[in-house]
Amino acid sequence: MPRPPSRWAPSPGCFWRGLRLLAVDATCGDVADSPANEAASGRPGNSRGHDKSCFPQVRMACLIEVGTHLVLDAELAGCRTGEVTLVNRLPRSCGPGRLILADREFLGVPLWRAFTDSGADLLWRVPANRVLPVDRILRDGSWLPRTHAAGDRTHTDPVTVRVVAYQLHGTGRAAEDYRLVTTLSDARRCPARQPAAPYQERWEAEAVFAELKTHQRGARTVLSSKTPDGVVQQIWAHLLVHHALRELMARTAATRGLDADRISFTDPLRSARRSVTVTPGSFSP
């Protein structure tokens, strides 16, 4: 079910230039090896390219508020359903006043339009091999190309984006080239040097998946239900527990003027576990 954005706007890290920072991303997880789960979810190929994985897998796409790590919306499907297909269902929980961050595998005209039609602004990374010819150069060195959907063979229905290029320097590593595309097209109000700062917050989505899969569920833990309906219930149970913990952390951070994503997730998780009386067969967070 879609959820409204967090009510704890004063928490540092939730906004950039008046826009609420949200990220979209997807991940996969192993589920119990049963004929029903395999039929519903499928198995991915392993690193050898031919054999199948030991377990069926479920794919989950999430819309995440990066400042609080709250999962605001999610979509589930088997691993045979692509990330873009699942993420395409998340614009229902977006709208004006949001800046949606996404990695390079999601850039495509239909998905871009699905999010911009919601009224949200976008800041997405571009694959290195993506050709974005210069249509107009702006005063800060960024440029405006027109891009087309794969099915637009006549190039009669383009989308204009703004491209910002920069280098990210890491200690002891060669500089890495980044290209971002965005709906923030005004070079006066948003100079090219600025979008790099909010884009780095996209990596908070990876931290959320680590909280769910490693700390809360348990590293390499396989969901136990042998039925597809049971798998869905288990995943939503984990999402609800995570949301409850993160909502409590967001409230605490807001009252103290702290950045909620800088508070340890494992401490409240342990506290929650200690407060629950665990009986055989019961669910624990």
Out of 151-155, 191-195, 219-223, which region has the weakest mean confidence (pLDDT)? 151-155
CB 185 within 8 A of CB 162: yes
6: pLDDT strictly greater than 70: no
52: pLDDT strictly greater than 80: no
- Please report which helix (H) or strand (E) contains residue 85, including its range: helix 83-87
**Residue the block writes with tokens 């913990």:** 245
Q: 283: pLDDT confidence band, cut at 50, 70 and 90?
A: very low
Report the half-sphere exposure of 226 (CA within 13 A, side-chain side).
Answer: 3
Query: What would the two tokens of residue 2 be?
Result: 């879609």
Tell me the C-alpha distance between 276 and 5, whole Å: 28
256: pLDDT strictly greater than 50: yes
pTM of the model: 0.88
- Please report which helix (H) or strand (E) contains residue 39, including its range: helix 35-41
pLDDT score of 140: 93
CB 141 within 8 A of CB 162: no
If you average pLDDT over residues 9-29, what whole number do you get?
88
Q: How many residues does the chain have?
A: 285
SS3 content of the chain, % helix, strand, coil (to 5): 30, 25, 45
SS3 250: helix
- Please report which helix (H) or strand (E) contains residue 160, including its range: strand 159-160
Find the radius of gyration of the CA atoms of the chain. 20
If you average pLDDT over residues 226-233, what whole number do you get?
97
Percentage of residues in the chain having pLDDT higher than 90: 67
Q: 2: pLDDT confidence band, cut at 50, 70 and 90?
A: very low
pLDDT score of 77: 97
Report the half-sphere exposure of 49 (CA within 13 A, side-chain side).
Answer: 0
pLDDT score of 222: 94
CB 87 within 8 A of CB 60: no
Amino acid sitting at position 161: V
SS3 263: coil
If you average pLDDT over residues 241-251, what whole number do you get?
93
Q: 175: pLDDT confidence band, cut at 50, 70 and 90?
A: confident
Average pLDDT of the residues of the chain: 88
Taking the domain 15-121+202-273, which CATH number applies? 3.30.420
Phi and psi at 76, nearest 5°, equal: -120, 145
Whole-Å CA distances, 212 to 219, 222, 240, 250: 10, 13, 11, 17
pLDDT score of 79: 95
9: pLDDT strictly greater than 70: no
Q: 171: pLDDT confidence band, cut at 50, 70 and 90?
A: low
Please state the domain extents for the chain: 15-121+202-273
20: pLDDT strictly greater than 50: yes
Contacts of 29 (CB under 8 A, 6+ apart): 57, 58, 60, 213, 217, 223, 235
Contacts of 244 (CB under 8 A, 6+ apart): none
Tell me the C-alpha distance between 42 and 28, whole Å: 12
